[in-house]
């Protein structure tokens, strides 16, 4: 029977998971921070425009609701990116196992 190096598979899988999944998590946090910063700046600007009469109350409300829609879009994007990270991990894992299995063939 082929002698597959399971220890090496375990080690490589751990590295793969750390690289892909941690990279995804870091990116998601940075994305959320970026959105929060932008939303705060936008809100301040809209309030100034509302006070100056450059936009109406109705315009202001639509802008705020639009920001909520954007937040939902960002959440959907992150859900999509997490699926991509999972697919990338799965592909990498299959590759690791297959290479180890092929290497063990006599």
Partner 1 sequence: MKIPALLRPTTLFLTLLLAACSTIAPYDQEAYKTATGLKVDALVVMSSATESYSSHRAEVARFRIALDKAYEYDRNRPLNEITIKLWDKLRNPDGDLLGGFLREWQEEGALRPKYVAHKKTQIAEGFDTLIQLESGKIKPAEAARQL
Min dist. Cβ of residue 5 to partner 1 (A): 18
**Number of residues that make up the chain:** 106
DSSP H helices, the chain, are 6-51, 57-104
Instruction: Please select the residue that binds partner 1; options are 79, 103, 104, 106, rule is CB under 8 A.
Output: 79
Segment interacting with partner 1 (CB under 8 A) among 5-13, 15-23, 49-57: 49-57
Q: Spell out the residues 6+ positions from residue 43 whose beta carbon is closer than 8 angstroms to its own.
A: 64, 67
The answer to whether the beta carbons of residues 98 and 5 sit under 8 Å apart is no
Cα distance between residue 36 and residue 92, in whole Å = 33
Give the torsion sign (CA, 100, 102, 103, 106): positive
Among 18, 33, 37, 65, contact with partner 1 (rule: CB under 8 A):
65
Least Å distance, CB 91 to partner 1, is 5
- Residue 82 Cβ vs partner 1, minimum distance, rounded to whole Å: 9
Site of interaction with partner 1 (CB under 8 A): 38, 42, 45-46, 49, 54-56, 59, 62-63, 65-70, 72-74, 76-77, 79-81, 83-84, 86-88, 90-92, 94-95, 98, 102
């Amino acid at each position: 029977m082929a002698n597959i190096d399971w220890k090496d598979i375990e080690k490589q899988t751990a590295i793969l998971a750390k690289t892909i999944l941690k990279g995804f998590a870091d990116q998601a946090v940075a994305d959320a921070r970026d959105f929060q910063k932008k939303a705060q700046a936008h809100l301040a600007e809209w309030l100034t425009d509302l006070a100056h009469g450059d936009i109406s109350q109705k315009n202001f409300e639509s802008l705020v609701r639009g920001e909520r829609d954007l937040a939902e879009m960002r959440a959907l994007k992150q859900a999509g990116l997490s699926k991509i990270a999972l697919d990338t991990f799965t592909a990498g894992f299959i590759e690791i196992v297959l290479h180890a299995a092929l290497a063990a063939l006599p």
